[in-house]
Structure 1
Amino acid sequence: MVMLDVYSRTHELDERSIDAIAVRLEARSSSVRYMSMLHEYLDLIDFGGAEQVLALGCGTGVEVREVVKRQNFHGKVTAIDISAELISRAKALAASEGLGERIEWLVEDAQNLNLTTGVFDVVIAHTLVSHVPQPKKVLEQAARVVRPGGTVVIFDGDYATLTFGPDREMDDRIITALIANPRVMRAMPQLLRDVGLELADSRGWALTEIGRADFFLAALQSFSILLPKTGVATPDEVQAFVASQREACEKNTFFAGYNFYVMIARRPL
């Protein structure tokens, strides 16, 4: 089976594609609704007693910087991503906010970590498992490197619910191009159990924009570059779709949305 998901292949992409992905990832930090989800689930974690936090698939490091800025967290974060270019950009963004000294940046595959067993108090996979070829391997690695009694946090979208209005055909093309595992969060309770972790808490959200777009504008901007890369649509088809969505936003007739979930698990003592 050929995996189209461009986010799973950031270590292989050209600079223009990486630029589009980096802009898309970083734009999330300016979305009030997106950041409220991040802050809500971070509030559920006991960072006060955490000395070592691991962030898997960190991208441009939006969630990493938010962890470091938390008032009750005084430890360090190890942040990994499979893309050396995204790590470089994440490192520069953190340094620009004066956060670099508390973050170690590593180029690693979250499915096969070269990290010591049982050393992290908290492991976070933020919008990662929907993109990797083998999500269970990420969970196995997280369960291995977290200490007994430690916390594993999985946050991701349920991309089977992704929609841009009534055109289901384009929804399906977008999911095929950008999401390897659109339903993985529905399987997460069982997957956590399978790797020896105990589900302790969870939350769910619907991020929907009706009338006008904010969060989804950056996604639309990236589609013109990323979707043709996978062959799911021609450049002309994508440009026409993006133009129609921008027009809907201007007319106050825009509609898009999908669900997000977080699941918080513990490694038994």
Structure 2
Amino acid sequence: MYLRSLAPVKEYLVVLLDVYSRTHELDEQSIGAVAARLEARSSSVRYMGMLHEYLDVADVGGAEHVLALGCGTGVEVRELIRRPDFHGKVTAIDISAELINRAKAFAAQEGRGERVEWLVDDAQSLNLTTAFFDLVIAHTLVSHVPQPKRVLQEAARVVRPGGTVIIFDGDYATLTFGPDREMDERIITALITNPRVMRTMPHLLRDVGLELADSRGWVLTEIGRADFFLAALQSFSVLLPKTGVATPQEVEAFVASQREASEKNTFFAGYNYYALIAKRPL
């Protein structure tokens, strides 16, 4: 058993709009939109290709105990379990009990839940013992949490000496849906707490005692026709008005214009992704 005693209730003096940072507080419609968006990423060949690449670099075959932080609907967890070179077990945590329930259901549907323990917990203050895990993965988490350095401190604490920590996330300051920069900024404000956090990641890793071992970078763009971004656009209709960054009418007009651009083969959207692979020194 590797649970430690429960920590005091955590309080952050930060006012957040980012709906992905407070999934444990969202209404049913909003959490449904978030879950649909997270799960839709699994159907994108290009998106999943990034996941496969960083798992290949990390050499997960030797990992017996893996921790997935902020697992959402469990896309990366199920992909890890599918790998023929991985024979270990996964502890998957998320701050949202509803997302954990959905992740469990998706894994059960695929018959892949037996090697996963699903926990509701806060990645900024984990109720897990020190130096237990061989591999810790934070997949699109640090851009959303109020205190990303706390996530890294906890990852460095729970990974064993010689173990690996992978941070994968977007550089959302590069997000664009064509020339309308004003709407880009509204989207970033509504959905991202730390749009530039990956630019500071090498410093943060060093600060918490982890050594950068490798890295990867990608530009995910769609020009002409939309695919990956269609699910994002669908989620905007629900999520953006909830934060107050735009009226329902403004969002619907924007989403309609983007879908029309895709139909006309004039769509343009993209942003950068990065994966940093770090080691805890022996």
TM-score, normalised on structure 2? 0.95
**How far apart are 1:46 and its partner, in Å?**
2.0
Indicate the SS of the match to 2:57.
coil
Match of 2:207 in 1: 194
Matched residue type, 1:23? A
Match of 1:22 in 2: 35
Match of 1:70 in 2: 83
Distance 1:42 1:224 in 2: 33
* Structure 2 residue ranges without an equivalent (≥5): 1-13
Distance 1:159 1:48 in 2: 31
Indicate the SS of the match to 1:60.
coil
Matched residue type, 1:144? R
Distance 2:257 2:141 in 1: 29
User: Alignment partner for residue 216 of structure 1, among 229, 235, 240?
Assistant: 229
Distance 2:206 2:60 in 1: 24
**How far apart are 1:3 and its partner, in Å?**
1.2
**How far apart are 1:48 and its partner, in Å?**
1.9
User: Alignment partner for residue 243 of structure 2, among 226, 230, 233?
Assistant: 230
Matched residue type, 1:67? L
Match of 1:181 in 2: 194
Match of 1:254 in 2: 267
Match of 2:167 in 1: 154
* Structure 1 residue ranges without an equivalent (≥5): none
**How far apart are 1:257 and its partner, in Å?**
0.1
Distance 2:58 2:146 in 1: 28
Distance 2:60 2:181 in 1: 41
User: Alignment partner for residue 205 of structure 1, among 196, 207, 218?
Assistant: 218
- The runs of at least 4 consecutive aligned structure 1 residues that moved more than 6 Å come to none
Number of residue equivalences:
269
Distance 1:249 1:51 in 2: 44
Distance 1:199 1:183 in 2: 18
Indicate the SS of the match to 1:181.
coil
Matched residue type, 2:270? G
Match of 1:108 in 2: 121
Matched residue type, 1:213? A
**How far apart are 1:267 and its partner, in Å?**
0.1
